[in-house]
Structure 1
Amino acid sequence: MDCMAEELEAALPDDVCSLAERILAAAKQRDWQIATAESCTGGLLAALFTDVPGYSHVFDRGFVSYSDGAKCDLLGLASEMVENCGAVSREVAEAMAEGALERSAAQVAISVTGFAGPGGEDDEEGLVHFGIAASGGEKWHREEHFGPIGRDGVRIAAMRAALDMLRETLDLAA
């Protein structure tokens, strides 16, 4: 399947691309739009969704909020929350998803925030938090410890986990 631009295609396994296409098809069937709020994946999830032909109306928008300030400015997080909880936390992941849902036309928003590595002394390389917010007030969180598998490894693993959460959410919404 040709779901990624040539320069990124080799970096993404086929299962990631096919899962993204299945998610977009399920969202289209439900007449839902998707939004993303990404930190450690740096917009890769949004790029994946926009590179699958035939689904441009399903993906509403993506927020790349890599810095703490961007999380606050773009997604409406309180700076105190980010400072107190840490940018890589359940609270921030959930707030990122809620902010993306509120600031979009989407019915479901996924967030990703983590330490792709290498990190500082207190940063657990491979720790990633995910949040989902859906219309109707449903929220889900997931925490993964991928370990020190390198930046690319963590990003790809995070994309798989985010896609899996979206698949589960769309299945639950059936």
Structure 2
Amino acid sequence: MTEKTLRQLSHQLGEALGQLGATVTTVESCTGGWIAKVITDVSGSSAWFERGFVTYSNEAKHQMIGVDNGTLETHGAVSEAVVREMAQGALFAASADYAIAVSGIAGPNGGSEEKPVGTVWFGFSSKLDGTVARHQLFDGDRDAVRRQATEYALQTLWEEFLKNKLDTV
């Protein structure tokens, strides 16, 4: 995966969101704003990118987008329950039509037997289609895990939420 691939995905999302008259927001932990950066590399993205949240700490997840402290304590930041709350909270906080949430362990430290380095959870939320969560285990160093997570997030929003909607416009 290359910068070119990320650019192409961002352009594709932008065109689709523009045609749908929709907006997207991001809430990122392990990617540290990389998804928002790639999206805003597209000229004119202010028409469809609402805002991005970088919620690296648990406190930021709670304060900025309302992730419940009990959910964080019970499941941990890298979990299906937390990314669902992240996506829903960002969707509400940004008043956007779609939200992408990501939380993971990019490494090289922080992994465990249960959640090894490369574990990333994604949440996708839509005002019309609800919220779904996806889990991936990526290989490579910190940069590779973050890059793969960024690509996966953009590709999944396109494939699972936007692609079919364009057929009905």
Task: Give yes or no for TM over 0.5.
Answer: yes
Does 1:128 find its partner at 2:120?
A: yes
- Asked if the contact 1:28/1:55 (under 8 Å) is kept, the reply is no
Show CA shifts across 1:26-85 (max 9, x none). Answer: 001000000000000000111111121122111000000000110000110111100110
Distance between the aligned counterparts of 1:18 and 1:167, measured in 2?
Answer: 12
Within a 5 Å distance, the mapping from 1:128-147 to structure 2 comes to 128-147=120-139
Task: Show CA shifts across 1:64-114 (max 9, x none).
Answer: 000011000011011110011010001111110000001012100000100
- Output the TM-score relative to the length of structure 2: 0.92
- 1:56 is matched with 46
- Which of 101, 105, 117 is matched with 1:111 structurally? 101
Partners of 2:121 and 2:46 lie apart in 1 by 27
Please state how far the C-alpha of 1:154 moved relative to its aligned partner. 0.4
CA contact (8 A) 2:105 2:111 kept: no
Structure 1 residue runs of 5 or longer lacking an equivalent are 1-10
1:9-20 alignment to 2 at 5 Å? 13-20=3-10
Q: How does 1:8-157 map to 2 (within 5 A)?
A: 13-120=3-110, 122=112, 123-147=115-139, 149-157=140-148
1:88–1:129 contact (8 Å) kept in structure 2: yes
Please give the root-mean-square deviation of Cα atoms over the aligned residues, in Å.
Answer: 1.5
Q: 1:48 to 1:121 in 2, by over 3 A?
A: closer
Deviates more, 1:119-128 or 1:59-68: 119-128
Share of identical aligned residues, percent? 38
Equivalents in 2 of 1:172, 1:131: separation in Å? 19
Structure 2: where are the runs of 5+ without partners? none
Equivalent residues, number: 163
- Quick one: distance in 2 between partners of 1:12 and 1:104? 29
Range that drifts further, 50-59 or 79-88: 50-59
Query: What CA distance in whole angstroms lies between the structure 1 residues aligned with 2:144 and 2:125?
Result: 26
Other-structure match for 1:7: none
Deviations 1:108-160 (A, max 9, x none): 0000100000123524100000001101252121100113x111000100001
AA matched with 2:119: L
Q: Which amino acid aligns with 1:167?
A: W
Q: CA contact under 8 A between 1:33 and 1:108: conserved in structure 2?
A: yes
